[in-house]
Amino acid sequence: MEAGIRARGHWHAGVLLLVLLLTAASVVAGERVGRAIDFLLEAQLEDGLFRYRHDFIDGRDSRRNNIVRQAGAAYALGEYLDGGSDPRVEAALRRALAALDRRSIPWRDGRLVSLDGTTAGAKTGATALALLALLQGGLTGPEMQRRLDAWLRGLLALQRADGGFRSRPGVERASPYSDGEAWLALASYHRRHPLDDRVAVALQQADRGLMERYRRNPGIGFFHWGVMAAAVRYHTTGEARFRRFAADQMRFFLDSLRPRVNPRSNSCYSVEGLVAGAGVLAAGGDDELLDRVRERVAAEMEKNLALQLRPGQDRIVFGQGRYLVAPELPRYRGGFLDGAHRPQLRIDSTQHCLSALLKLERGGIPGRRGAPASSPVRGIPEPTAALQHLPGGVGEHAMAVDDHAELP
């Protein structure tokens, strides 16, 4: 009995500590979102794509590029516009979608997004994210409808017999990333267009095949996209199998994939999945998993937000008296660094952090048994220069497989 009282006391003390963290004086998520949006708008190039990567060590922009991550930046702008309006962001999204359309190639009876205009350069993930950007941005008109239908047809043409998706045309191999991205795109389309029988049939195959495959073989590449897709499917259908799948994926993430917070990494991508999944956990009454997710998201975002370049910042501090001074820092304010001790900005680092912030600001994480949702971002103070970086080395989400490989 006494041990039980002590255990409950430790639990309440932990919750109290978390509450104090979440309610401390802070910069609200809205300001963080605004800075990230300003960065993306400034990073947009004349052709509609985005400055892919900048290295503060040599002061140069990378000559490499990646069409999936370019489409991901457009997806983040679309998510920002979802349910709202901002003329600046809408104009930027239109330019980005036009750029992706110009780089699209015919495939079967649809089109696929390709960086270099070749079939070999076409990517399932890029097409799925372009489709998502258009859907979430709420842009209408004949030209937008043409693009929507063309990208949708192209994506459907890449589905395999087992429900998964070829990572690009001309190959049979699937990729965890493109599987998750395509599933999320079709799930989001179906939520908005439930009478489209083509997508309904494709989703039946994807639901069955992808949940079976990634329940057996979960992985970090599929995790956040797959949990977001399962959450959309649950909110659309109310079917408990999607909630159970999301819960299993999150539990495996916390227990095995990433059992500890990595102080070195930009982990906003994982926060996207955790927050989206938390939104369906409350329906199942899994308070213990919700508590774990809430605490983990708070810890991850405290570290991630220290990676955002602040107004007036003139150096990147590494600790122990070491720092880097880069005269171009003000131009990149609002962007998120790739990781601690990684003084580079790649476009998808800010994309994932913007998406995570939007999910936290708009929905938060449900409380226990119907308690109000909370946003861990609200309680995280503005980092001082000394806290701008934590000890560590390379980040944990350096994607370099198949549809996410960089091109020179």
Give mean pLDDT, residues 354-358: 97
Q: In the prediction, which pLDDT does 43 show?
A: 98
| CB 181, CB 198: distance < 8 Å | no
Q: Look at phi and psi of residue 163 and say left if phi exceeds 0, alpha if psi is from -120 to 50, else beta.
A: left
pLDDT in tens, 137-172: 999 999 999 999 999 999 999 999 999 999 999 999
Our count of domains for the chain comes to 1
Residue 375 — very low, low, confident or very high, per pLDDT cuts 50/70/90? Answer: low
| CB 337, CB 266: distance < 8 Å | yes
Whichever domain contains 356, its CATH number is: 1.50.10.10
Give mean pLDDT, residues 76-82: 97
Number of continuous H segments (helices) and E segments (strands) in the chain: 13, 7
Distances in Å between the Cα of 76 and the Cα atoms of 41, 108, 319, 359, 379 are 11, 28, 32, 11, 23
Q: In the prediction, which pLDDT does 356 show?
A: 97
Beta bridge partners of 164: none
Residue 396 — very low, low, confident or very high, per pLDDT cuts 50/70/90? Answer: very low
Q: Among 337, 319, 324, which residue's Cα sits nearest to residue 265?
A: 337
| CB 274, CB 249: distance < 8 Å | no
Q: Among 184, 93, 187, which residue's Cα sits nearest to residue 134?
A: 93
Q: In the prediction, which pLDDT does 104 show?
A: 98
pLDDT in tens, 397-406: 443 334 555 4
pLDDT in tens, 325-347: 999 999 999 999 999 889 999 99
Exposed, middle or buried by CB within 10 Å (0-12, 13-18, 19+), for 161?
A: exposed
Q: Which range marks the domain in which residue 27 is found?
A: 2-404
> Kind of pairing, strands 315-319 and 110-113?
unpaired
